[in-house]
Amino acid sequence: MKKIRFDTLDKKPKLYNLAILTAFFAAAVVIMALIDAKGLAVPICITVSVYLGLAIAALVNAFIAQLRYNPYSYNTIYYIGFALFLISILITNCVLLFRMTAHPEEYGAIQVLYIFLNSAKNYMMISAPFILFFSAALFVSNISLLRHERKRFVNVLGILLAVFMVGAWWMLFGFDRYASGSQFEVMIHDLFANLFAAIYLYIECMLIGAIIANVIVVKYEPDKDKDFIIILGCGLRKDGTPTPLLAGRIERALRFYNKQKAETGKELTFVTSGGQGPNEANSESLAMKRYLMERGIPEERIIEEDASTDTFENMKFSKAKILERSPDAKVAFSTTNYHVFRSGIFARRVKMRAVGMGARTKWYFWPNAAVREFIGLLSAHRLKQAIVLGSIIAAYVVMTIIAYR
């Protein structure tokens, strides 16, 4: 299989055609489902399967194109996350088509609409093994983290997410089993269940998409043609030396430096990025510089960036330092594995096409850290996420109302 290379496309992938096709298709299916003629059931089901196949292919192609254009993007998460969701709808639709073909007298076209109406809940059922395994792994790793690290709120985020994922799953299906009263009361009950499932669906698609996107960018090995490599700071010991986490980032950068020099003969310059915290003896930048010099890197190959206080400033201030020396430089950055994707987002936000690499960390540390990164992703780009989530909620509201009419 040919390796997908990052930053090789100049045009951002668009899905306008898929959006137009989806709107036209949705209107056609709703109209035909409301007619509910028995003879239309199988043709509609086949049409839906064809559409879903085309939509999945379009999303996968857009995902690959996005990796080639800019892998550090929310679109990367959306494309792959919702492609998996459409695959679940295709599976349930194919099961319905099989049943329709075997017993055509028992099914009408309205059944196709129910496939979409129940799609969020069906996705939760299909993905239940993943949710249970993921939640169990989070719980176990978080318990180990609490045994090795300080008992702080941020160190129980994994447990909280695991409880939410499993608890919300059981709550929905326990609630959805019972509905009584008038047709209007039952519709309100189903509307609440569908909205709850839609919100859960969005979070799950984002979570799975973020996991896949981060794995891809962590496994990616940057081309050996870099001029600069930024090392992102992350705290020091009391004596002003790098913590094991920061040392891992420096070692990862050194491995890349040595490999590039051996393969191409090209040397690069290190940018040590990180300011001095209130309880730190010196800046993170200086600590990294000393570490590199102890490993044989000459001082003229190191640029200190000692003003930044977070990842965004790491990228912003490091870019300014690099531009002072080379406007057309090729840049990489080194951080911890769980932090690569979000760091890349910040790099692109300051208009810097830097490619990341991730250092390994202890098995019990990275799942909880990855949860913090995911929460950070959810808290950013609020407008885009509000539009996507709002569209999903609106679709389920409309489908619920149509189903009860």
Q: Where are the domains of the chain?
A: 16-220+380-404, 228-329
Question: 344: buried, middle or exposed (CB in 10 Å: 19+, 13-18, 0-12)?
Answer: buried
Q: Compute the distance between CA of residue 34 and CA of residue 112 in angstroms, rounded to an integer.
A: 11
Edge-first strand listing for the sheet containing 302-305: 302-305, 269-273, 228-232, 331-336, 355-359
Cβ neighbours, 10 Å, residue 39: 10
Fold of 228-329: Rossmann fold (3.40.50)
**215 half-sphere exposure, CB direction, 13 A CA radius:** 8
Query: Is the pTM above the cut of 0.75?
Result: yes
Q: Compute the distance between CA of residue 389 and CA of residue 321 in angstroms, rounded to an integer.
A: 39
C-alpha gyration radius of the chain: 25
DSSP 220-274: ----S--SEEEEE---B-TTSPBPHHHHHHHHHHHHHHHHHHHHH----EEEEE-
Q: Compute the distance between CA of residue 150 and CA of residue 157 in angstroms, rounded to an integer.
A: 13
Beta carbons of 21 and 58 less than 8 angstroms apart? no
Q: pLDDT averaged over consecutive 10-residue blocks of the chain (405 residues)?
A: 80 86 77 67 84 93 95 94 93 89 77 83 88 89 81 79 89 75 81 88 92 93 95 91 94 97 96 90 95 96 95 96 94 95 95 94 80 84 87 88 77
Handedness of CA 91, 107, 33, 187 (dihedral sign): negative
CA angle 161, 198, 378 (to 5 degrees): 45
Q: Compute the distance between CA of residue 331 and CA of residue 373 in angstroms, rounded to an integer.
A: 23
pLDDT at 134: 87
Q: Compute the distance between CA of residue 375 and CA of residue 380 in angstroms, rounded to an integer.
A: 9
C-alpha pair distances (Å), 317 with each of 271, 275, 310, 383:
10, 11, 11, 27
How many helices and strands, by DSSP H and E, does the chain display? 14, 5
Beta carbons of 112 and 29 less than 8 angstroms apart? yes
Residues ≥6 apart with Cβ < 8 Å to 262: none
